[in-house]
Structure 1
Amino acid sequence: MEKSLKCATNQEFLTIGRIGKPHGIKGDVRVYPLTDFPDRFNNLHKAYIDGTVITIAAAHPSNDFIIMQINGFDSREKAAALTGKFLKIAKSDAAPLAEGEYYFFDIIGLDVFDENGVFLGVITDILKTGSNDVYVIEKTTGQLLIPALKKVVTNIDINNKRMDIIMPTEN
């Protein structure tokens, strides 16, 4: 799953990396992956920075980052201008997922209903806790936190922007 920060996605693009400082003097940059699919950089030829398409001449892993050569950035000074910017791809180019798996950008914005069909609110964020994700549901009276577990989430319908849950009970 692509890493999710609420600000990391928008309607058209999916953020896959943050550009760090230049690497060497020929215009290469360090890219810190923000994706659960770091292998995508091996065959990445087109991406976007600030909504502008770029062509990637070469990319290879190095420690915790990717060294990337971008066409048109042939000096350290030009590469330095990219420091801190986000590398994005079109959502249509996102890696395919197995059945029952979803990207965060698919889940955020879903309407949530309980087992009785009562509208509970809208998912506004997803928290990564280590053991399981937690959906943040905005209600008119505040927030509701729901664990992303199969015994709680009974249905996800991306096309109809709906999630059905069984409210967990306190023991």
Structure 2
Amino acid sequence: MLPASEAGEWVVLGRVSGIYGVRGMVKVFSFTESRDSILDYSPWYLGPDRRPWVLEDGRMQGEGVVAKLAQVEDREQARALIGQEIAVIRADLPELGAGEFYWSTLTGLRVLNREGIVLGTVSAFLETGANDVMVIDDGKGGELLIPWSAEASAGVDLPAGQIVVDWQADW
């Protein structure tokens, strides 16, 4: 295990969602923009203890991703990993251009509209096909869904921990 203090910030790229075959391969639900991009990283750090697992092989299988981890030899070992988050160290991710952000960087930021009304905090993002959507926790037990756009990304202020959007509080 690599302690968080040595590793820096963790970024979750997916989770183990099932088993595949009899030789210890796992099915992976990937959060990366291109599903198989998760295979570009090794080691994967699994579970709450962030134990490192070396990626031996992987590929697209139909609509999903399957992977072989070096330490996993059979179905039962693979089955024990189901539900585990797959994380990498943020420093291992590629640098982004201006105006580009990893969703994990934006999650937890406060969201305000142009009038300065706090709408809530970013709790997640959804990929819908047409455009991505920010899921905003309004702090009152509800949520708002706000399209993520170039205008929204222009309102990101990481030092202030906030995003300004063109969105009315009563929409």
Q: How many residues align?
A: 158
Which stretch has the larger CA shift, 49-58 or 60-69? 60-69
Deviation at 1:140, TM superposition (A): 6.5
> How has the CA–CA distance of structure 1 residues 159 and 107 changed in structure 2, closer, same or farther, with 3 Å as cutoff?
same
> How has the CA–CA distance of structure 1 residues 139 and 49 changed in structure 2, closer, same or farther, with 3 Å as cutoff?
closer
Whether contact under 8 Å (1:29, 1:69) holds in the other structure is yes
Match of 2:33 in 1: 36
TM-score by length of 2: 0.69
Give me the CA root mean square deviation. 3.2
TM-score by length of 1: 0.69
Match of 1:6 in 2: none
Task: Please say which structure displays the higher CA radius of gyration.
Answer: 1
Deviation at 1:54, TM superposition (A): 0.8
**Counterpart among 122, 129, 137 of residue 124 in structure 1:** 122
> How has the CA–CA distance of structure 1 residues 17 and 149 changed in structure 2, closer, same or farther, with 3 Å as cutoff?
same
In structure 1, give the amino acid aligned to 2:118: L
In structure 2, give the amino acid aligned to 1:48: Y
Write out aligned runs for 1:28-107 (5 A). Answer: 28-50=25-47, 51-107=50-106
In structure 2, give the amino acid aligned to 1:102: F
Which stretches in structure 1 are left out of the alignment for 5+ residues?
1-10
Match of 1:164 in 2: 164
> How has the CA–CA distance of structure 1 residues 142 and 56 changed in structure 2, closer, same or farther, with 3 Å as cutoff?
closer
Q: Kindly indicate whether residue 14 of structure 2 is the aligned counterpart of residue 16 of structure 1.
A: yes
> How has the CA–CA distance of structure 1 residues 61 and 122 changed in structure 2, closer, same or farther, with 3 Å as cutoff?
same
In structure 1, give the amino acid aligned to 2:25: D
Whether contact under 8 Å (2:109, 2:163) holds in the other structure is yes
Identity score, percent: 21
2:83 & 2:148 partners in 1: Cα distance?
A: 32
Q: C-alpha deviations, 1:29-51, integer Å up to 9, x for none?
A: 22232321334244332001112
Deviation at 1:65, TM superposition (A): 2.6
Q: What's the secondary structure of 2:83's corresponding residue? A: coil
1:169 & 1:28 partners in 2: Cα distance?
A: 47
Q: C-alpha deviations, 1:19-72, integer Å up to 9, x for none?
A: 311422x32222232321334244332001112111112222222233322122
